[in-house]
Structure 1
Amino acid sequence: MNIKTIMSVAIGGFLGGITRYELSVLLGDDGILYANLIGSFLLAFITYYFIERGLLAAWLNAGIGTGFIGAFTTFSSLATTIVKLESQGVLASIGYFLVSSLGGLALALLGFMLARKYGGPRKND
């Protein structure tokens, strides 16, 4: 691993964490949900549109995927929100978990399908 990759992941992580924080300030607990859903879509789309086709440098792929999106989405915030919602009732926490999980899966699938549809041939094709 070279310094360019390390710096890219560090800067991406810093920006992704700040973006998630700002969403949570702006939207409260829903901000974490939106961050995780948007991040699911973005990671799938970026992976299958840009990374798989070799359109970006490896250091930039790491900065965007691992750094930015990794910090933008977070399992620990998801888990904390689910526990916090438990005080409103078990259905609220289960609902939040299901929307996060199934919604994230659906948006990742959408990102994959759109990337394949509009991305053209892969680098190996």
Structure 2
Amino acid sequence: MTVTILRRRDFTGQKMTTASGLPASQHERAPESLRTLSTYLELAVDEGVCVVLICQYADACAVYTGDPTGAADDLADHGTIAAALVDEIRGLAEEGANQMTIGDRAYRFIRSFTQIADRGAVVLTPL
């Protein structure tokens, strides 16, 4: 099995770009950035919320789940991840609609940008 990343403007069938060939017969064999992405997307799907990534420091970004349009205090804190992982995730997921298969799981989500407490935030909204 391979990791397949399909980036789409919409899900009507017109593919924009495809990147594949990364070994991922098991989830553990996927790159760390994709394993991290899938972990937080699973959490967001389970909770029915968004993943919010806020880079607070040069080397680390805070991870939250919740509604990014609500109060910042209402976001659930899930610790930090390396800023380099967030950079890789942003490189793999275009702004707008995305579809990725990581291991044997398919993920559909929208990547967007907002500001929370005067800081830029990447928002991943599962579909």
TM-score normalised to the size of structure 1?
0.30
| The structure with more helix, counted as a fraction of residues | 1
TM-score normalised to the size of structure 2?
0.30
More contact order relative to length (CA 8 Å, sep ≥ 6)? 1
| The structure with more strand, counted as a fraction of residues | 2
